[in-house]
Structures are given as C-alpha cells and as structure tokens.
Structure 1
Amino acid sequence: MILQSHPTVNAFNRALAEALERAGRLAEFHTTVAFGRRAVAVPPARLRLHPWRELARLVAQRLGWQDHGGPVGIDAVYRAFDAAVARNLGPARVVYCYEDGALATFRAAYERGLRRVYELPIAYWETTRRLLLEEAERLPPWASTLQAPDDPPEKLARKTEELRLANLVVCPSRFVQSSLPDGTRSIVAEFGSPASPQTIAERRPDGPLRLLFVGTMTQRKGLADLFAAMRLLDRRDIELSVLGTPLAPLSFYRDGWPHFRYESPRPQVEVLGLMDTCDVLVLPSIVEGRALVQQEALSRGLPLLVTPNAGGEDLVLAGETGWLVPIRNPAALADRIAWFADHRRELPGMREAARRMAAARSWDDYTRRIIGAIDSLCPPAHE
C-alpha cells in the first residue's frame, strides 16, 4: 500500500491519488485542505488533513501580510506538514512525497524499512540555482524577479537530503531528469493534458498574429528575452498578451516592451477562454519542470514556441505543433515569431496537430507509468 503526501492538491498529485484509489493501492493521502479547487476524490477513511498552519497562511495572504520565512510562510507550512506526515505513516509499504515536503517523512520511512519515491516537479536545485544565478548576472535589472537564488543554505540542504533518501525519483520531463546527479534512479512520467473542446474558435487570418505568454512575470520564464525579441521585430502585425502575476511594477515591464497587453491572473477556465482568442503560446523559459500551460495551450489549438527547458520538448514537432528555440536567444525567438507571422496559412493545420498532440498525453498514461515503476521497487503481490 502507498502513502502519498503533498501540502496542496494540484492536477498531478490529484491524478495519482485518484488512480491509486481506483487500483486499490492507496493507504492514505495526506494534505492540508481538500475543498473547492483542492478537492480530491479519495474516501474520507483514506484522507488525512493537517490544515491549521496552511489555513493561517491563507488568512495572512488574504490580509496582505508577507511572511515568507516566518511561522505562516510557505516553507513553514511544508516543514510542519512533513513532520505531521512522518508521525502518521500508518500501514504503508511505500511513501510518495514531493520536493520540500519529504525529508521528515523519508527519514521515518527509512527507519521502518519503507520504500521512498520522490516526485521532483522542477529541475533539481543545483541546476536551477546555477541557471538563475547566471541570469542575475546576465540581466541585473531582472534579478529581483528570480527569487530562487535567495533560498537559504538550510533549505538547499533539505533538498539534497530528500534526494539522497529517495529510492526512485519521478520526473515530469527529460529536462528535469537530466538535471539529476549522476547515478540517481529515475523515470520520466509526463503530465496529462486537459480535454480539448469539440470545436475551436477560428482565428481571423487577416488580423495580427496574437502571441500569448502565461506565467509569473519573471525572467525564470524568459520574459525579458521575449521583450527583447519583440523589440527586434517591431512589427505592427504581431501582438503580445502577457497573463500572469507581476513581481515588479508594471512600469518596469513596460520599459522592456511598452506595447504588450497585460492580462491579470484568473481562473483556469477563463485562461482557456483567452487562449481561444490567440494564435501561439510563447514560453522561452530558463528553467521549469514541465509547464502545464503548454498542454493547456495545445488542447486549445495553440502551437508552441518554447525552449527545451520549459520541459515540453516531446510536445514540439518542428513546423507542425510549434518550434523549439534555445534559451537566452532573443534573435532565434524573433526569427520563429516572424515565421508564424509570415506563414499564417500554416496555422489551421498546426492547430489541429496541436490538439492531437495534447490528446496523446493523458493522465492515465502518467499514473500508469508511476504505478508500474513503484511496482518494480515493491511488487504488489507482497502487500
């Protein structure tokens, strides 16, 4: 039986918990709160909630209090949650945990001789830190948007020890897998895609090309390089919409490219609706895990213009579902944007190819890959 834990419920841990439950393999699913958008279809008998510190964090957030390193900051929530899970391992033979919330659980599981599986949703911290420190040096004005280089040594040491204690690491992309230290036992299990609508809205072939960037407005996602590409192009037949949370005043971003249309964060269904009005998703990320927005965009018929470090290299068939460009290369980015603008007749076929690519990546495939790998560690016949 498998104990799974994560402080919040999101698309990928929900998919796994529900698949384990259907397979009769779920011992317990531990989280903080499980209602609304965090609901998960797990029977109450196997759902273990540790809510109080997370509820305090949400209240503080609603009141506008910033407490990143304090008692109701996100790191404190993860540590307290991890400690609570470690005290309640129950009948599990395998524990399945995620980055920053695994150390105490893995230590307790190790003492009991349990197998330990670690899902790493973003590149390993050594790679992430190296790339972002390089970005801070390359583009100093954007350094304040990078955040991760400020992680304290204690937090980095926890990440290192979590990985060391893992028997198996689950990665959402080849990029994440390639970031792991040599000798780490790992698999790649790509995330699933949302369902495509029966029909997709037709775009006007004579209108401007509409590019869409979705994500936190940081250079970790390559936004400075996208603005630099737009400056190189300076074409009136290309529009850029940026949807995300700003980490600096909007005037800072306007200095990079004044003509983008800002779209504030909104529920996912409204993000998908905005995608229906756009032509191409652009995400020139420096470091990710596997940005789910890529598959959301494909499901709405948007081809991709992304870097391999966005974690969706397998989603891009050159000239069919989009283009890959190198990181830190505004010129290459501008060249491919121009290609889209100059080949508008190709877009209807690319939209259909994008939808087919999204449909080929299912959450069932993701969970089957993980469960099969767990079975190779700890065969279910012994349970």
Structure 2
Amino acid sequence: MRELARMLASRLNLNSLTRHEAGPFCVDAVYRDLDLTVARQIERQPFSAVYAYEDGALESFRVAKSKGVTCLYDLPIGYWRAAQCLLAAEIERWPEWAATMPGFRDSEAKLARKDEELQLADQIYVASQFTRRTLEDYPGTLANVEVIPYGFPSVGPPRDYVDLQSRKLKLLFVGGLSQRKGIADVFAVADTLSDQVELTVVGRGDVQGCSALESALKRHHWIPSLPHDQVLQTMREHDVLLFPSLFEGFGLVITEAMSQGTPVITTDRTAGPDVMTAGEDGWIVSAGDTSALQQAVENILNDPDQLARFGENARQTAMKRPWAVYGQEMASSVKEMLKASDERREGTGGFRLDRGGCVE
C-alpha cells in the first residue's frame, strides 16, 4: 500500500509526500517498511538465509544475525564513499550540471545504515568489477564480494546497417538525465560534431531544475519516456549508443543495445569491461574524459564500415549470456554459500570473512 501511495503521489506531483528521506511515501519509507515486514517474518519463522538489497536490509539482517540466519546482500550500485569522491570531481568539472546529481543529499543516518548493512552481510553480490572495486573504500572488514554480471535480454534478429555516405551518424543516449550518467559529455560531443551526427535522448530528469540540461535538450531530439519494447526498437534504429556513465553498478542499457545489434561506447566505470570486448563488439573509454568519448565517435565517422562488424559481434555476444545464465550462476553461488554456513554451524568447516581488499 505504501508503494502504491508513492506511485500515485509521484503521478500527481505531490512532492511533499515523496520528499527525499522525509516524505511518508518516499522510496526510503517504502524500503524501510518492507525491511521491517521481512524482519518480523524472520522472527516468527525459521529460515536458512535472507537475501536483501541496499537500503532495505538493515532490520532484516539484525534479526537474522540474532538467529544465526545467513545474510546475503545485493549491492546494485557502487559504494557510497567512492561515489562521493568520484562525483565530487564531476561537480567541479561540470558545475552547471550539479543539480542533476542529487545523491549528495543522503543524510548521515542513511549513510550509516548502508555501512551497517554491509558490515552484517555474510556474502556480498555485485554485478560488475567496478562495483567491487568501489568497496575498497569501505573503512573496515567485509565479507566475500562476488561479481555475477547480469544477463542480456532476448536477442533481436540481424539488422541492416545503412552506410553514412548520405546521412549523419545516429547517436542515442538512454537513461536518467543526470551527469552521473555522463549526459553533459554526450551533449558536448554531439554539439561539437553537429555537422556529422544527430543525437536522440531518451530519459527523464529534473529539466526545469537545471538550465544547462533544459537548453541542451532543445538542441536535440528528446523523448522523455518509452515502453521497453519501443526502447529496444529505438536502439535498433540508431547506429551507436553512448553511455559514458561516471558511476554505474551495471548499466542495463548496455546489454539491451548490444542485444539489438547496436554497438555501445561506454566507460570503465560500468559493466562494459565485464560484458564486452573493447575493439571487437564495443568501445570503452575512461570515465570523465570528454575528448576520449569524442575520439571514439570520430573513429566511427572515419571508418563507418566497422559499425556493421561491431554491431553483429555485439549481438553474438548477447546470445551467449541470456538472463537464465545469470540465474543459474546466482543460484549456484547461494547454494555453495548455504552449504558453507551449514558446515560452520555444525563445526565441520569454516567460514572466513575477508578484508575489503578481497575485491582485488
């Protein structure tokens, strides 16, 4: 009911009800309510383990620990201390885009809850090597961190690649309109190469709260929202997806575009290095390097024949890792984790909590 109220309040623009951390129907309130509900169930019934996500695990894990129940933690995005460090530099680089990065609004209490959740976890799951590296900033001892990349959606049929002799290169950005996603870099490249490229942006953001964003969207084709199937179709209709994110737990748009035969230019702070081979089925540039992003686009303009090759390679890569593979790998890992926990309780084996350095 609380989640339904949150969705309704958002649709009706009742912002006071969904205000960050304070609103009775904000995301944090929904998560805390769910967490408390799960914690009460753990109190009443025997369980082997509890699997929970960041910001919704604390009370469940506290009760689970008191009952010897294994705590499995899913961290879907990088660790908050690393985010503050990396994105603070981004605010200095693009001060006019600072309004699009509200992550710095989290209270000390919320950040402390995040740290306690991590501390209580017996196993931590992340979807990219980058997310695992961010946990090196945790100021203490952590459980084992395992990387299991997400799967690709259903792969589309082979697509046609029209040459660029009589048209512009069609660039696409899909995601939240935030500089955490590198949107300012996307606009900078598209504006510089406007004679040779055309940009479509699909996503929502606080447009009126950022004059730089509002101005940039007027210069390009902006689609605030699309159903998922139409997002995939839009990807097929473009040559390249630009996703120069500065801080990403994974980046599902990467796998979505690749599944449709659309190659991706992304950064080393996404799952790009986990799911693609740079120079074969996509391109990876350094995060926060606008010139490197532009150079990658110019490389395509100078050699447009590679689009078809990279695009089909991306589609073939997507075929090898459907979502079922992710499910199988996760299930196998959880099974092994529970087996180790049983051995520990029976005294026939051991379970060791590694230091944060295990992320290496």
The aligned length equals 331
Percent identity between matched residues is 37
Match of residue 190, structure 2, among 218, 230, 239: 230
Structure with the bigger RCO (C-alpha within 8 Å, sep 6+) is 2
Task: Verify the 8 A CA contact 1:241 1:260 in the aligned structure 2.
Answer: yes
Where do residues 316-355 of structure 1 align in structure 2 (5 Å cutoff)? 316-355=276-315
Q: Does 1:102 align with 2:57?
A: yes
2:5 to 56, 59, 69: 56
1:372 to 2:356 alignment: no
Give the residue type in structure 2 aligned to 1:363.
W
2:203 counterpart residue number: 244
Aligned-pair CA distance for 1:127: 0.9
**1:111, 1:80 → 2: CA distance?**
20
Question: What amino acid maps onto 1:53 in structure 2?
Answer: R
CA contact (8 A) 2:161 2:307 kept: no
Give yes or no for contact 2:97–2:213 (8 Å, CA) kept in 1: no
Aligned pairs for 1:254-293 (under 5 A) are 255-256=215-216, 259-293=219-253
Cα separation, 2, equivalents of 1:368 and 1:275 = 28
| Distance (whole Å) between structure 1 residues aligned to residue 122 and residue 149 of structure 2 | 19
**RMSD of equivalent CA atoms:** 2.0
Note if contact 1:227-1:256 (Cα within 8 Å) is conserved in structure 2.
yes
* Aligned mates of 1:258, 1:77 — CA distance in 2: 35
Counterparts in 2 of 1:266 and 1:296: CA distance versus 1, 3 Å: same
Instruction: Find the partner of 1:78 among 20, 28, 31.
Output: 31
Alignment of 1:1-383 (within 5 A): 52-66=1-15, 67-68=18-19, 69-89=22-42, 90-180=45-135, 181=138, 183-184=141-142, 185-206=144-165, 207-231=167-191, 233-249=192-208, 252-253=212-213, 255-256=215-216, 259-379=219-339
**Structure 1 residues 202 and 229, CA gap change in structure 2 (3 angstroms):** closer
> C-alpha separation between the residues in 2 aligned to 1:291 and 1:323?
14
1:42 aligns to what?
Answer: none
Matched residue type, 1:146:
M
8 A contact 1:201–1:276 mirrored in 2: no
Cα 1:259–1:319 shift into 2, 3 Å: farther
Amino acid paired to 2:173:
F
TM-score (structure 1 length as normaliser): 0.82
Mapped to 2, the partners of 1:183 and 1:83 lie a distance apart of 26
Rounded to whole Å, the distance in 1 between the matches of 2:179 and 2:201 is 13
- Whole-Å separation in 2 of the counterparts to 1:114 and 1:328: 42
Where in structure 2 are there 5+ consecutive unaligned residues? 344-360
- Offset at 1:253? 2.3
Match of 2:352 in 1: none
2-side partners of 1:227 and 1:59: how far apart? 33
CA contact (8 A) 2:177 2:206 kept: yes
Q: TM-score, normalised by structure 2?
A: 0.87
Question: C-alpha separation between the residues in 2 aligned to 1:324 and 1:284?
Answer: 9
Q: CA deviation at 1:60?
A: 1.1
Counterpart CA distance in 2 for 1:214 and 1:198 is 21
Structure 1 stretch 175-184 or stretch 323-332: which is displaced more?
175-184
- Please give the secondary structure, in 2, of the residue aligned with 1:199: coil
Q: Deviations over 1:43-72 (max 9, x none)?
A: xxxxxxxxx111111121121111222111
Paired residue type of 1:368? Q
Instruction: Report the secondary structure of 1:310's partner residue.
Output: coil
- Alpha-carbon distance in structure 2 between the residues aligned to 1:202 and 1:328: 30
Over residues 279-326 of structure 1, what are the superposed CA-to-partner deviations in whole Å (9 max), with x where a residue is unaligned? Answer: 111011110100101000000111110001122212332322121111
